[in-house]
C-alpha cells in the first residue's frame, strides 16, 4: 500500500523552479538583499506561491541549501549558558551535529562549496546570516568587533570540519568529542570574547 501524506506535495516542477531561482538570487544578491518577489520573478510564478510552498525567506534559504538542520533552533541552544564556556559549547554542538546523520549533508555541502563558486557564495551567506549573526547577537558581542570575531570562529570551525571529516588527519579524525572540545573550545572562546591585541 502506498502511504500518502496528509498534505499535497504540490507541483514538483514549480517547487524546483522556485528553488533554482532562489539559489541564483541568494548567491547573486546575498540573503539580506534577496527578495521573494525577485525569486518568484525568476521562477515565473506569483510571489504568493513561493510563500505557500516554503513559508518565510529563511525557510526557503534552508530548503535551497538542502539543510536538514535549523540554525535558528540549534545556535541559541548551543550558546545558552555561561558566556565564558560558549566556545566549548559551540565546538561540542558542531561536532555532535557532524557525527549525526544530518551532519553528512552539511559535510557534503562544504565539499561542494570548495569546488563550486556559487555553492561557496551560498555557503558564506548561510554561515554569516544564519549562524554567526545569531551567535554574535546572543553573546552580546560589540558590533564593531562582531564581523571579525565571527569570521575568526569560522576559520576554526571550518578547519575542524575539513581535518576531521574531509582530509581525515589522525588523531583528530577519530578523537572523542569531549577531547576535541577541551582542545579546540578555548581557542574558539578567545575569538569570541578574548582580548585580541593587534586586531582591535
Residues in contact with its own copies by the rule CB under 8 A = 110-115, 120, 123-124, 127-128, 147-148, 151-152, 154-164, 166-173, 175, 178-179, 181-184, 186-187, 190-191, 196-199
Q: How far is the CB of 74 from its own copies (least distance, A)?
A: 19
Smallest separation (angstroms) from its own copies to the CB of 181: 8
Least distance from its own copies to the Cβ atom of residue 169, Å: 5
Please give the grid coordinates belonging to residue 44. Answer: 515565473
User: If 0-12 CB within 10 Å is exposed, 13-18 middle and 19+ buried, where does residue 59 land?
Assistant: middle
Cα–Cα distance for residue pair 187/165, rounded to 1 Å: 20
Residue 50 has a CB neighbour count (10 Å cut-off) of 22
Closer CB to its own copies, 139 or 158, in the complex:
158
Q: Which residue has the cell 540573503?
A: 31
Q: Closer CB to its own copies, residue 13 or residue 195?
A: 195
CA distances in angstroms from 174 to 163, 164, 185, listed in the order given: 10, 7, 17
Nearer to its own copies, 36 or 88 (CB): 88
Closest contact distance (angstroms) between CB of 187 and its own copies is: 4
Amino acid at each position: 500500500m502506498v502511504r500518502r501524506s496528509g498534505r499535497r506535495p504540490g507541483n514538483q516542477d514549480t517547487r524546483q523552479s522556485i528553488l533554482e531561482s532562489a539559489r541564483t538570487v541568494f548567491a547573486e544578491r546575498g540573503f539580506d538583499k534577496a527578495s521573494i518577489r525577485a525569486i518568484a520573478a525568476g521562477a515565473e510564478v506569483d510571489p504568493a506561491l513561493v510563500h505557500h510552498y516554503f513559508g518565510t525567506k529563511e525557510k526557503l534559504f534552508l530548503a535551497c541549501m538542502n539543510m536538514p538542520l535549523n540554525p535558528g533552533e540549534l545556535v541559541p541552544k548551543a550558546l545558552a549558558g555561561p558566556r565564558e564556556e560558549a566556545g566549548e559549547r559551540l565546538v561540542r554542538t558542531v561536532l555532535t551535529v557532524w557525527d549525526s546523520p544530518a551532519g553528512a549533508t552539511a559535510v557534503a555541502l562544504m565539499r561542494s562549496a570548495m569546488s563550486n563558486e556559487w555553492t561557496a557564495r551560498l555557503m558564506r551567506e548561510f554561515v554569516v546570516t544564519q549562524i554567526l549573526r545569531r551567535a554574535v547577537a546572543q553573546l552580546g558581542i560589540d558590533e564593531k568587533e562582531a564581523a571579525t570575531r565571527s569570521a575568526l570562529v569560522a576559520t576554526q570551525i571550518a578547519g575542524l570540519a575539513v581535518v576531521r571529516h574531509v582530509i581525515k588527519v589522525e588523531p583528530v579524525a577519530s578523537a572523542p568529542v569531549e577531547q576535541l572540545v577541551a582542545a579546540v573550545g578555548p581557542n574558539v572562546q578567545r575569538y569570541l570574547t578574548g582580548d585580541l591585541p593587534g586586531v582591535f
